[in-house]
Amino acid sequence: MKTTGIATRIRRIARLTLHIVGALALGAFVFPFVDSARHAWHVKRWSARFIRILALRIEVTGTLPRRGGPPAMIVANHVTWLDIFALNAAHPVRFVANSEIRRWPLLGWIAHIARSLFIDQHRRHHVADINRQVEAGLRAGDTFAVFPEGGVNDGETLRAFHASLLQPALACDALLHPVAIRYVRADGSRCREVAYDGDKTMLDVLRVILTQPVIHARLEFLPPIACSGRTRRDLAAEAQALIARAVISSLDAHTSRTRHH
């Protein structure tokens, strides 16, 4: 498997460092003084450049939430910490995430200034408190994104979706937008290096990503689901089934092409 040279990795690290410094400047001198729409524009622009520095190519298919349309919540499978930036590069969102992410070096702070909300699983009723904030944000026109699996997976399988995070979408009759996230190489094979599963740290994943000449991040926006008249469990089960089908079908398609060659 072809990997990048030392010079390329050093160049990427230097550019990444400067880009993160840029995020510090945004957080201090721009974000406190702009409205929600301008904030979202900066988040999308910063995330897109972050992804490009790491030699990721975003490939988006399907219909994205429409700004100014019905309240929208994105639900996606969770492969790696790159998911946050890949989704924001495609469509700026506010994330609902585990409080552990807030403690990540630098990237946790970046998620914070991007107006993410963090759930502390050790605090009783905290999910309900966060859900009230999400509902208010949805009604105000923000798009939220959640990873209902409650953790990362290996990119080939999905855990059961937790329905509690979907309550705000149900409360304001939002459209639920399932998104299947996949990371592949140029030949279509799955890029296992990006997976943030097992005992890997964030830096472990970053070091390996830097060795990859290019990674394709495929975001498939599946048909949206209307929440009106549904239950949280029904919504979670339908979204999980749609995403699982998309992930599995892509793996099967690559396996079929490989066999024929």
pLDDT, tens digit (0-9, with 9 covering 90-100), for 63-79: 999 888 899 999 999 99
- Residue pLDDT, tens place only, 44-54: 999 999 999 99
- Please list, in sequence order, all residues whose beta carbon lies within 8 angstroms of the beta carbon of residue 254, skipping any fewer than 6 positions away: 184, 188, 189, 190
Rounding to the nearest 10 degrees, give the CA dihedral for residues 83, 85, 89, 91: 60
Cα atoms in the Cβ-side hemisphere of radius 13 Å centred on 173: 4
Q: What is the pTM of this model?
A: 0.91
Domains of the chain: 6-260 (3.40.1130)
Confidence of residue 255 (pLDDT cuts 50, 70, 90): low
pLDDT band at 252 (very low <50, low <70, confident <90, very high): low
φ/ψ of residue 253, rounded to 5: -65, -40
Statement: residue 256 has pLDDT above 80: no
> Rounded mean pLDDT of the chain?
90
Question: What digits encode the pLDDT tens for the residues 132-179?
Answer: 999 999 999 999 999 998 777 776 778 889 899 999 999 999 999 999
Rounded distance, CA 19 to CA 194, Å? Answer: 20
